[in-house]
Structures are given as structure tokens and as C-alpha cells.
């Protein structure tokens, strides 16, 4: 495999993702063709159009790269060089006119996420990171928060589509967090939750049953912004497709873990 100039690839990818975001902005005011992948798991014609647009443009940037994309991938394990794509994270939000929707694109190379972009087109926010070079929002550097007390922390979470399989544990975790934090938010798009944790709007984020395309870009954003990402048990490193994810500013990682793992 030939050497890749990541900085050049990043600049081209940012443009490709922003161009795809124009489809989201255009379609939000049009009638939607909505179908159900599950009881509450939706897909729209916009999801599919954005994914196809990204595949076409990203193939030009890196012809040798594979794709791992939400709407068309049968596998959930990336190859040596793979684009990991969530074309429209927050499809339910989109279908209801709620503006918290994002496109998440990450480049996986030899076991690591090396580029990550989260575009929130309706809110005009582009988050991006290159491994080892920091994280940015609209070209301004971002850092995780400095909150070090749980009772001063604003925490985000999300609920899996197969809610019936997880509801009892989710309600238990939610009760713990509500008792010990300043507040809980649930925007409905994990890519945004992770990006907001990276820029300090949230002090932490936790969720179950996320897929690689939900977390790959945001995972890198948080690392490059000075935060920490593991599974609920911080002794377990986070890997794409892990059953749980805990992301934080680092200072609150162990206290959040203690609540989630019943060690508080």
C-alpha cells in the first residue's frame, strides 16, 4: 500500500462531507420516503443519497480504500484501509424536523482511526481531527471540558433501537446519572454526542449497543481533544462495535464508570 498524505486526504474529505451535507439541508424541507429497518429504526431516501454521494467522492480520494457504511454494509469489521460512514446519524430526528443530525466519516488505517469528521450541516458545524494533530470545530481548536465534579457535569446518553432488550439496565444507569450529575441530555445522534464532548459542551457520554459508524469519527475527536474513551469498565479498551462506550473529559471518567458499573 502506498504512503498516504493524511493532511491532503483530510482537506479533500472535508469538502466531500460538506458537499454531501447539502443533500441533507435540501431534503429536510421535502416529502420523505421513510421505511422501517426495525420497529423504531428508520431509513430515508436522504440516508441512501448521502451515502452514495460520499462513496462516489471518497472513492476518487482513495481508490484503494474499502467502505464500511451503515445503510449498505453487511460486515462490521473494517479492513486495513477503510472509510467508515454514517451518512445521516439521527434519522429519526431528521424525519421529525429536529435539526440534530450529522454525517460521520472516519478513515481506518491498519487498526486505528486516523481521520475523523462529524458534520452537523443544519447547524453549520464541522468537527474534524487528524491523528496526532488535534481536533477542530470550524477550523478552531477544541478541547474537552475541565469539569472535575460529577454534580457540576452535563452528561449525554442515547438509547439503542432494540430498546426492549436493554430497557431495564438503561433505566438503572439513567437513574444513577440523574442522581449524581447536573443533568442528562439525549440529542439522538451519537456522533453529535461525541463531538460535543470533544468540544466541552458535554462533560461525558455513555451508551450501549452502538455500531462502528456511530463512533469511529467521534472516538478520534475526543482523543485529539484531550479526552478519554473506553468501555464502561475503563480497564477494557474501547474497540469498534464494543457493547458499551464511555467517553469523557478524563477527569470524570472513573466517577462515571463507578456509577455505570455499580461501584459508586
pLDDT tens, position by position, 21-63:
999 999 887 656 656 554 534 467 888 999 999 999 999 999 9
Task: Give the domain ranges of the chain.
Answer: 6-141, 150-260
Radius of gyration of the chain (CA): 17
Please check whether residue 194 is in contact with residue 215, taking contact to mean a CB–CB distance below 8 angstroms: yes
* CATH for 150-260 (3.40.50.11030, 3.40.50.300, 3.40.720.10, 3.40.190.80): 3.40.190.80
Q: Is the pTM of this model over 0.85?
A: yes
CATH class given for the domain over 6-141? alpha beta
Burial class of 36 by CB neighbour count within 10 A (0 to 12, 13 to 18, 19+): exposed
Burial class of 158 by CB neighbour count within 10 A (0 to 12, 13 to 18, 19+): buried
Q: Do domains 6-141 and 150-260 have the same CATH topology?
A: no
Please check whether residue 64 is in contact with residue 12, taking contact to mean a CB–CB distance below 8 angstroms: no
Burial class of 8 by CB neighbour count within 10 A (0 to 12, 13 to 18, 19+): exposed
- The whole-number pLDDT of residue 262 equals 84
Please check whether residue 213 is in contact with residue 69, taking contact to mean a CB–CB distance below 8 angstroms: yes
Amino acid at each position: 500500500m502506498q504512503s498516504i498524505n493524511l493532511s491532503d486526504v483530510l482537506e479533500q474529505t472535508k469538502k466531500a462531507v460538506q458537499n454531501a451535507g447539502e443533500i441533507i439541508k435540501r431534503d429536510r424541507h421535502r416529502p420523505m420516503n421513510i421505511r422501517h429497518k426495525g420497529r423504531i429504526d428508520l431509513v430515508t431516501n436522504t440516508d441512501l443519497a448521502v451515502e452514495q454521494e460520499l462513496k462516489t467522492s471518497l472513492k476518487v480520494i482513495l481508490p484503494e480504500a474499502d467502505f464500511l457504511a451503515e445503510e449498505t454494509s453487511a460486515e462490521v469489521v473494517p479492513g486495513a484501509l477503510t472509510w467508515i460512514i454514517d451518512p445521516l446519524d439521527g434519522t429519526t430526528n431528521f424525519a421529525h424536523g429536529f435539526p440534530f443530525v450529522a454525517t460521520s466519516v472516519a478513515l481506518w488505517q491498519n487498526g486505528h482511526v486516523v481521520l475523523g469528521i462529524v458534520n452537523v450541516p443544519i447547524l453549520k458545524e464541522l468537527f474534524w481531527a487528524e491523528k496526532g494533530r488535534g481536533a477542530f470545530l470550524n477550523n478552531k481548536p477544541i478541547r474537552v471540558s475541565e469539569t472535575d465534579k460529577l454534580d457540576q457535569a452535563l452528561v449525554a446518553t442515547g438509547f439503542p433501537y432494540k430498546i426492549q432488550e436493554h430497557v431495564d439496565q438503561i433505566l438503572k444507569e439513567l437513574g444513577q446519572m440523574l442522581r449524581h450529575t447536573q443533568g442528562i441530555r439525549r440529542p439522538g445522534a451519537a456522533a453529535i454526542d461525541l463531538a460535543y464532548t470533544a468540544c466541552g459542551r458535554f462533560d461525558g457520554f455513555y451508551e450501549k449497543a452502538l455500531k462502528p459508524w456511530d463512533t469511529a469519527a467521534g472516538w478520534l475527536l475526543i482523543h485529539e481533544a484531550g479526552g478519554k474513551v473506553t468501555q464502561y469498565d475503563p480497564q477494557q479498551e474501547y474497540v469498534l462495535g464494543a457493547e458499551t462506550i464511555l467517553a469523557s473529559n478524563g477527569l470524570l471518567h472513573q466517577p462515571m464508570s463507578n456509577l455505570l458499573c455499580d461501584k459508586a
